[in-house]
Amino acid sequence: MNSLFVLFAAVIPGAAAERWPLRAILARAVASPVRGGQLARGGFCYYRADMQSLTNKRILVGVTGSIAAYKAAELIRGLRDAGAEVRVAMTRGASEFITPMTLQALSGHPVHQKLLDTQAEAGMSHIELSRWADCVLVAPASADFIARLAQGRADDLLSAVCLARDVPLALAPAMNRQMWADAATEKNVRTLQQRGVLMFGPAAGEQACGEVGPGRMEEPAELMRRVAEVFETGLLAGKTVLITAGPTREAVDPVRYIGNRSSGKMGYALCAAAVEAGARVILVSGPSTLATPERVERIDVESAEQMLAAVLEHMDGVDIFIGAAAVADYRPRQSERHKIKKDQAHLTLELERTPDILATVKSRRPRVFCVGFAAETANLDAHARRKLEDKGIDMVAANWVGPAAPDTGGGFDSDTNALRLYWADGELDLPVASKDRLARQLVASIAQRYERRPPGRRQHHNIVELRGGTPRKT
Ligand SMILES: Cc1cc2nc3c(=O)[nH]c(=O)nc-3n(C[C@H](O)[C@H](O)[C@H](O)COP(=O)(O)O)c2cc1C
């Protein structure tokens, strides 16, 4: 299907080619399955095109007692090189094969070893670690550890973390081929897979014991590629998402403006999450010092007026609009041409309303799925529901800000947040988490609501589909 589509898009420019740019498809085809984008860095190989989704991800690497434990060192270094934050938990067996000191130096953090650890904050490092991680990767995973997990045991730190987590868990088995082929291991692996645990490998080949067969741990570069894939959900594949982020600045005079405390972190995290979900992402950003996430097209603006103009200019082909920017509600009625001098005891600024970007987008493009943000200091439910109805939008992501949000540092410019999502006939709480994690959860909810939107709200792009090899316009 993909190769047919590529050929077709090559000869028919226009809507289809615009939504699935040929260059992007070819770049992916070259970079992904055959791993053509291999790079060497400091003697360590990884694949640039596949690794972007590891940036800022929190990976807990578990290490167990296998001869392959030395490869965990290369894995940890590679994950950090790719931009991930790494913590390590190792079993007592693992520390017979590689020292915690080595893994501490490579991860940049103390290695977690003890379940009953009085040093851990609140004495519960298994819960703290499992809440911290975006993904747990146990590499190498010994036969014994796999058996313990299959039984649901929690008698050491790493197995307790695995049991307490609510994020993806992947195992990279490493053992003698006979141990791997044993019916007990086979059954344990099947049990874990049925519970959603991912198995990365094992690979086949020469083993440390001198035998040849399946049971070797996958190479670190391959494990990294597989972890990166965990975050590439494909939930918005083929969709175009336009996101606004950051504050706006409304000029008072040439040197002063009315602004707000927004940093843009949530909107930028949403951009990265939407890219991971397979979308083409356009970011219209107010002033922000944040780096543009990979593969995002960014347009910089200052004022609410400019933001609206940039949004409308880029709306063609957009399926989902997310208004995450903290747009000023009011601006000075008049921006002075020259700097205002301090020669008056009192100064009154007359303010006027700025344009309502969300409402304008929804009224001009009713079929675009629109998501708004609401930052409130009181009556969160009532304000969020009113916003949903007044603007006729599809979803509101609301959060407490200021003194009402002590758990999340006031909401603005903090790395954590908590959201409550509202749509016409439902709502969902996303509890306190990093903005990166929240963004992924929000994107997943948006993708789900987008798929279930009423037929009257469906977009009718002039997309060319291939059915049974015949081009068809929808
Ligand atoms: C030299 C040596 C190498 C070992 N290599 C492996 C191995 O590759 N895979 C495995 O499953 N067990 C291996 N074992 C056995 C495990 O270390 C043993 O089952 C241990 O209890 C695992 O504990 P853990 O999973 O808590 O780390 C090896 C043992 C020794 C002495």
Question: According to CATH, where is 3.40.50.10300 located in the chain?
Answer: 240-331+350-457
Q: Residue 147: CB within 6 Å of ligand 1?
A: no
Question: According to CATH, where is 3.40.50.1950 located in the chain?
Answer: 45-231
Task: Say if residues 204 and 216 touch (Cβ distance below 8 Å).
Answer: yes
Please give the model's pTM, rounded to 2 decimal places. 0.70
CA of 154 to the centre of ligand 1 (A): 18
Task: Read off the pLDDT of residues 264-306 as tens digits, 9 standing for 90 and up.
Answer: 999 999 999 999 999 999 999 999 999 999 889 999 999 999 9
CA of 221 to the centre of ligand 1 (A): 23
pLDDT at 406: 56
Q: Residue 72: CB within 6 Å of ligand 1?
A: no
Task: Say if residues 323 and 373 touch (Cβ distance below 8 Å).
Answer: yes
| Residue among 63, 66, 151 to mutate when testing ligand 1 (max atoms within 8 A of CB) | 66
**Catalytic amino acids?**
209
**Atom 1 in ligand 1: residue holding the nearest Cα:** 67
CA of 345 to the centre of ligand 1 (A): 79
Could you tell me which CATH number the domain at 240-331+350-457 has? Answer: 3.40.50.10300
**In the predicted model, what is the mean pLDDT of the chain?**
83
Q: Residue 142: CB within 6 Å of ligand 1?
A: yes
Superfamily for domain range 45-231? Flavin prenyltransferase-like (3.40.50.1950)
Q: Residue 459: CB within 6 Å of ligand 1?
A: no
CA of 163 to the centre of ligand 1 (A): 21
CA of 67 to the centre of ligand 1 (A): 7
pLDDT at 120: 66
pLDDT at 13: 34
Amino acid at 63: V
Instruction: Kindly list the distances between the CA atom of residue 457 and the CA atoms of 25, 185, 323, 392, in Å, as whole numbers in the listed order.
Output: 28, 50, 18, 11
Q: Residue 65: CB within 6 Å of ligand 1?
A: yes
CA of 94 to the centre of ligand 1 (A): 8
Q: Residue 153: CB within 6 Å of ligand 1?
A: no
Q: Which helix (H) or strand (E) holds 232?
A: none
CA of 106 to the centre of ligand 1 (A): 23
pLDDT at 408: 58
Spatial distance between the Cα atoms of 401 and 409, rounded to a whole number of angstroms: 8
| Residue among 61, 67, 171 to mutate when testing ligand 1 (max atoms within 8 A of CB) | 67
Q: Residue 66: CB within 6 Å of ligand 1?
A: yes
Task: Read off the pLDDT of residues 297-332 as tens digits, 9 standing for 90 and up.
Answer: 999 999 999 999 999 999 999 999 999 999 999 999
Spatial distance between the Cα atoms of 156 and 85, rounded to a whole number of angstroms: 23
Atom of ligand 1 nearest to the CA of 148: 25
pLDDT at 366: 93
Task: From 372, 371, 428, 420, select the one nearest 400 (Cα to Cα).
Answer: 420
Q: Residue 185: CB within 6 Å of ligand 1?
A: no
Residue ranges of the chain with pLDDT lower than 50?
Answer: 1-49, 462-474
**Atom 6 in ligand 1: residue holding the nearest Cα:** 66
φ, ψ at 50 (rounded to 5°): -95, -10
Q: Indicate the pairing of strand 212-216 with strand 203-206.
A: antiparallel
Atom of ligand 1 nearest to the CA of 158: 26
Spatial distance between the Cα atoms of 240 and 256, rounded to a whole number of angstroms: 36
Q: Residue 97: CB within 6 Å of ligand 1?
A: no
